[in-house]
Structure formats: C-alpha cells, structure tokens
Amino acid sequence: MPLVPQPFRALVIGSSGTIGSALMELLEKNPSCSAVYGIHRSSLTPVDYQDLNTIESAALALANLGPFQLIINTIGILHTEHWMPEKKLEDLNAEQLQMLIQVNAIGPSLTIKYFSKLLDPAGSIMATLSAKVGSIEDNRLGGWYSYRASKAALNMLIKTAAIEFGRTRPNTALVALHPGTVNSRLSKPFKGEQIGRPPADAASDMLKVLFTLNKEDSGTFISYSGERLPW
C-alpha cells in the first residue's frame, strides 16, 4: 500500500532550483496535494548548507505547518564558477572535497535529522536527490572524485537512517532518488541541454515513483524510472 495518502501535504527543500521549482509547480497542480510549501536559501525561512545552523532553525519554524506526508530535498552541488569536477587524481583538492561533502552529504543528513520530525508518523516519505555516479558498484569511468564521494556518503547516511527508522518510524520511508540528467545549470557544462530531459518531465517521473512507494522501499536507491540502483 503506497505510503503517501490522499490528500497529502508536501514540502520541497531547495524549491528555487531547476528541479525544485518543477516539483513545486506539479504539486501545486496536483488535486490530491492539499498544501505544498517550498524553502530555499533566500526564502522567508531560509535553509542554506553553507550555514548548517539554518537547517534546525528552518525545521523548527515550519513545525506548525506539518505534519507532512511527503518531503523532497533537491539541494546539491556539482560545480561552481571556481572549479569543475575532477578528471584525474591530480585535480583533487581539499577545498572542493570539503565543500561537496558539506553540501551533498552533511547538509542533507542533518536535514533528515531535523525535518523527519515533521513527517506524519502514520505514513510518509522523505526523498533526497542523489546521483547514480555516487554508486560505488556502478563506478566504471572514474573521475569526479569529490562529487562521487559526497553522493556515496549521502547514500550511506540515508541507508543507515532508514534502518533506524525501521524501528522508530516504521511507516516512514527514506529513499535516495536519482533524477537522471536534467536540463539545468548543473548539467549545462556537460552537454545536459543536449542529452538531458526537461525539468518538468524529470519531476513528473520522480513523483510517479514516489507515489508508488511503500514502507518496504525504505532504505533504497531508486532511479526516476523506478529502477533500484546498486549502492
């Protein structure tokens, strides 16, 4: 039986981004979604992974709007104006590795810690966007050291929290969700506009998957197509 009931309340974290804004638009049009809220770095209640203290503050500020049956965290970073993903070991540097670990792993895991308290214990899903390149088993090309490592760390944190939730929150599913290549600022330098999908399509695909999940799916790494990915 799917965990997200009808009607449901939703929260999108990172709602100003390409995927986040597409999710917001679809959820606002969904007749089964009675309310959807979005937060990001510049929202009235900000969440900014450069300032980890904002995570707990945002969760406390939104507590009265819950409980939520669906929370989706879309925040992540691949590159900045100062550096791109590493092509070889010689490119590895501490600043880049630290930033990606903070934004892609530490921030999302603290978000699970604090925002999971806003989930409906009767039935809810919290999905965090990960990436297939974070799969250790699927790594056949190498490169992208910091991004791969940060997403692999994220996946382990989600899996570990899901095991605990199996005991403490048995009707909540925590999942890592791979959106695929999407036309966005993140993918643009890597021919994303040629090989990616429109954000609305990616958001629609992911919501379809999320709406089918049950509690047995907690702790899994899932693609936008519904495929279970190797850790």
Tell me the domain boundaries of the chain.
8-223
- Using one digit for the tens of pLDDT, what is the confidence trace for 171-217? 999 999 999 999 865 555 555 455 578 999 999 999 999 999 999 99
pLDDT (0 to 100) of residue 195 = 57
- Longest distance between any two alpha carbons in the chain, whole Å: 52
Distances (CA, A) of 203 to 21, 27, 45, 127, 169: 9, 10, 23, 12, 26
Asked if residue 36 has pLDDT above 90, the reply is yes
Measured on CA atoms in the order 215, 219, 220, 221, is the torsion positive or negative?
A: positive
Q: How far is CA 105 from the centre of its chain?
A: 10
- State the pLDDT at residue 186: 56
Please tell me the distance from the alpha carbon of residue 176 to that of residue 215, in angstroms, as a whole number.
14
Which pair of tokens denotes residue 38?
């979005």
Q: Report the percentage of the chain scoring pLDDT > 90.
A: 90
What pLDDT shows up at residue 80? 83
Residues 50-76 have pLDDT tens digits of 999 999 999 999 999 999 999 999 999
Q: Candidates 3.40.50.720, 3.20.20.140, 3.40.50.1110, 3.30.70.120; correct CATH number of 8-223? A: 3.40.50.720
pLDDT, tens digit (0-9, with 9 covering 90-100), for 66-110? 999 999 999 999 988 888 999 999 999 999 999 999 999 999 999
CA distance 215 to 201: 25
> Could you give the C-alpha distances from 168 to 38, 59, 62, 117, 121, in angstroms and in order?
27, 19, 22, 12, 10
Note the pLDDT tens digit of each residue in 152-168: 999 999 999 999 999 99
Backbone angles phi, psi at 115, to 5 degrees: -80, -20
